[in-house]
Amino acid sequence: MRDPRHAHSNMAVCVAVIAKENYPLYIRSVPSQSELKFHYTVHTSLDVVEEKISTVGKAMAEQRELYLGLLYPTEDYKVYPLHEVLIVLNNHGPFMGCV
């Protein structure tokens, strides 16, 4: 069972719905005062997506099984794609000695 003191470490703090043309259709972040920072992080992550897709080629990018993994780690957050449509920023918080 997870320690409730560390529950915040996996909290999604921003979700972005991405258009097929690789631009955000919708961005929602909590807390809202960090919204500008998350907009920047989402757009930077989209550049990483574009770069990764261009390196594997258009044919491979069309496959549904394209796994991009961790896109853009920062000091406070990690950015992951989900099904090439959503980007979720997870607050990984300070290391507390438990995994």
| In-domain check, residue 84 | yes
| In-domain check, residue 66 | yes
Q: Which residues share a beta bridge with 32?
A: none
Number of domains in the chain: 1
Residue with tokens 């607050």: 91
CA pair distance 97, 9, nearest whole angstrom: 12
Domain of residue 66: give its range: 4-91
Q: What is the pLDDT along the chain (99 residues), one digit of tens a residue?
A: 444 444 445 678 888 888 888 889 998 888 777 889 889 989 998 898 888 877 776 666 566 556 778 887 888 888 888 765 566 666 654 433 332
| In-domain check, residue 98 | no
CATH number at 50 reads 3.30.450
CA pair distance 64, 75, nearest whole angstrom: 30
| In-domain check, residue 53 | yes
